[in-house]
Amino acid sequence: MKKNKLLLHCVLVFSFFLIFPKNSFAFSLEKARSLEVQYDVLKEKVHEDVKITYKLKLDESFKEVDIVDLGLLAKEDSSLFQILDVSNHLCKNYGCFGKPFIYLHKKNEESYILAKQYDGKNVLIKLERDEEGIWKITNTQKK
């Protein structure tokens, strides 16, 4: 009888350790998904806040590109690295919530960089491409 109790106890303890990590992992995965959704919602609110601050209404000639896509486009048009440099400089030196929002004109004539800094200020940087193909900052605003 004692042997059976000991065996049952060992089986229960062993089962607990097998089950516990699975539940812990499932909880962590669920928590991570929840945090990801919350981050996406917050990011969208920040994006809308920045656009509203500057009453920015970009038509279909502009498309939003993220940093990764802009880097890929820059492989074909190296001048686009200048936009990445401005974006990286902004966030590195002043701190940004998440990644900046970059809008690029389809003809690669102008671009907007929108960001929210850690101090709560919204930033707009407008860049225009000159005749030599060099991107110049033509407008910078912080509100």
Which residue, 40, 22, 18, 41, is CA-closest to 30? 22
In DSSP terms, 114 is beta-bridged to 101, 124
pLDDT digits (tens, 9 = 90+) for 86-134: 999 998 888 888 889 999 999 889 999 999 998 889 999 999 999 999 9
What are the boundaries of each domain within the chain?
2-142
Percentage above 70 pLDDT, the chain: 81
How confident is the model over 17-24, as a mean pLDDT?
52
Q: Is the pTM of the predicted complex or chain greater than 0.85?
A: no
Q: Is the pLDDT of residue 23 over 60?
A: no
Task: Tell which wins on pLDDT, 130 or 7.
Answer: 130
List the Cα angle 115/40/25 in 5-degree steps: 135
What residue type is assigned to position 131 of the chain?
E
Helices (H), 54-113: 67-76, 81-94
Whether the pLDDT of residue 12 is over 60: the answer is no
Lowest mean pLDDT among 10-19, 60-69, 92-101, 111-120: 10-19
Rg (CA), the chain: 25
Confidence of residue 26 (pLDDT cuts 50, 70, 90): low
